[in-house]
Each structure stands twice: as C-alpha cells, then as structure tokens.
Amino acid sequence: MKAIIMAGGEGTRLRPLTCERPKPMMPVVNRPMMEHILELLKKHGVQDIGVTLQYIPEAIRDYFGNGADFGVHMRYYVEEVPLGTAGSVKNAQRFLDQTFVVISGDALTDLDLSKAMEFHRQKVPWQPWFKTSGLSTGIRSGNNR
C-alpha cells in the first residue's frame, strides 16, 4: 500500500501564521502536523509515500528529506501552478502503481487506516482507471467510469 499526502495548499485561513511556512508544517505538540500523519501511516504499514507540494515546497522537503529519519520512503511531486485536489494526485500518477490512500498533510486524525484499508480490499478489488505509458494506476469501483 502506498500513500499520497497532499501538502500543497497555502493555508490562507491561518494567515499570518502561514505567510512563511506551509500549513502542514504548523506545529502541533512541538512537531509539524505532517509528522503526525507520517506516524499514522507508518503505524498502519504504509511506508512508501508521495507528497504533493506547491506552496513553499522546500520547507517540507528540507524537513522530511527522503523520509529515512522517519522510517519511511518519501518522494515529492511539485505543482508549478495549483492543480487542485484531483490534479495534485494525478500529478503523482507514475508513483501510483498499486492501491493507495490519499490523506491531507494538515489533518490530524487517529483513523484506523488498517481497518479502512481492509474494508476497501474486501469491497473494491484493484482496478486501474487510467493508463500512462503502459503503467496502470488508481482505483475505482465497478460503477465508476
């Protein structure tokens, strides 16, 4: 299982706190919010993580690097212009060669991802929904076209 962390938003509703740092880097209990998300993903066995970036991307890349210090493997997908939620995930499509979870880099949750992923596996078998250069990526249910 892979994950995409969406971490590209400007955090305009938190201004002036986000004028010089992206919202996922806002501290919660002395750590960036996104670090809590990494811990959640790792706890549930997700260690291959793509991160979508747009606003001050170097702040996140510089802090997390390749993820090794956090026990995960991270790669980054930078948007030159904001692509929106679906566009940012599509921007990382080459990374998404198996079932994946998408989570916001600024959402704190203790959701039981293992339970959610197991429910998904039982209800929706892996089905590619677009192809790029022979690489199938994404998931869809039988009704979505």
Domains and CATH numbers, the chain: 2-137 (3.90.550.10)
- Token pair for residue 13? 């509703």
Confidence at residue 12, expressed as pLDDT on a 0 to 100 scale: 78
Encoded amino acid at 37, one letter: I
Residue (of 37, 101, 31, 38) closest to 71 by Cα position: 38
Three-class secondary structure of residue 102 per DSSP: strand
Res. 142 pLDDT band, cuts 50 70 90: very low
Q: Which residues contact 9 (CB under 8 A, 6 or more apart)?
A: 22, 23, 54, 55, 106
Q: How far apart are CA 141 and CA 8, in angstroms?
A: 27
Residue 102 has pLDDT above 80, yes or no: yes
Confidence at residue 86, expressed as pLDDT on a 0 to 100 scale: 83
Residue 131 has pLDDT above 80, yes or no: no
Average pLDDT over residues 53-73: 96
- Token pair for residue 92? 């990382």
Determine if the pTM surpasses 0.85: no
Q: Which residues contact 40 (CB under 8 A, 6 or more apart)?
A: 103, 109, 110, 111, 113
Res. 127 pLDDT band, cuts 50 70 90: low
The 10s digit of each residue's pLDDT in 64-90 is 999 999 999 999 999 988 888 888 888
* Sign of the alpha-carbon dihedral angle for 53, 58, 59, 63: positive
Confidence at residue 132, expressed as pLDDT on a 0 to 100 scale: 42
Strands 31-32 and 27-28: what pairing? antiparallel
Average pLDDT over residues 20-49: 94
